[in-house]
Amino acid sequence: DEFDGPAGQSPDATRWGYDIGTNWGNFQLEYDTSRPENVSLDGQGHLTIVARREDYLGSAYTSARINTNGRFQQTRGRFEARLKLPSGQGLWPAFWLLGANFASAGWPTCGEIDIMEYRGQEPNVVHGSLHGPGYSGGAARTGRYTLPGNGFDAAFHVFAIEWAADEITWLVDDQVYQR
């Protein structure tokens, strides 16, 4: 229901916002936009985020980063998304949570939970990570899940966490791979 609507329409602005620009700390090559060429509904209940090779405001590529900042906030519970991921060198899609106090506390103090991070050059592997003071960046608490058979680009999969008061559980298609 979240992404029902005609093809080419933007996601519901009361629920979704955008990070516009570049340089989010990961040395990306794309400029993130809110243009329908990069982020729109497909008319079949899916949100499509497209990376494009094009010159745009000094970048050689464009894509999109959507967020719920200021629109949705939840501590604990289940967070999930059903995603079909692209494959290819340089692609780095992710589904993650960032502390609501990011603007005042900064990163990594605000905390970050990576529900799913994926590198397109490893189409069968996803990572789930926890970042905070003393365990961020390359020192994050991270688990790895390797999908048997075809890669994550072949079909949709459900990526989730279940966040309790004293633990976080990471799942792919309801299979636990890290706690």
Q: DSSP secondary structure string, 29-88?
A: -EEE---TTTEEE-SSS-EEE--EEEEETTEEEEE--EE-TTT----SEEEEEEE----S
- Evaluate whether 39 touches 48 at the Cβ level (below 8 Å): yes
Handedness of CA 132, 135, 141, 142 (dihedral sign): positive
CA distances (Å), origin 85, targets 74, 123, 155, 174 = 25, 8, 8, 17
Q: Which position among 30, 37, 54, 117 bears the catalytic label?
A: 117
Cα–Cα distance between 35 and 48 in angstroms, integer? 12
For residues 125-134, one letter each, b for 16 or more C-beta atoms within 10 angstroms of the residue's C-beta and e for the rest, the string is ebbbbbbbee
Task: Give the active site residue among 30, 80, 112, 162.
Answer: 112
Please confirm, yes or no, whether 167 is among the known catalytic residues.
no
117 given a catalytic annotation: yes
Could you list the active site residues?
112, 117
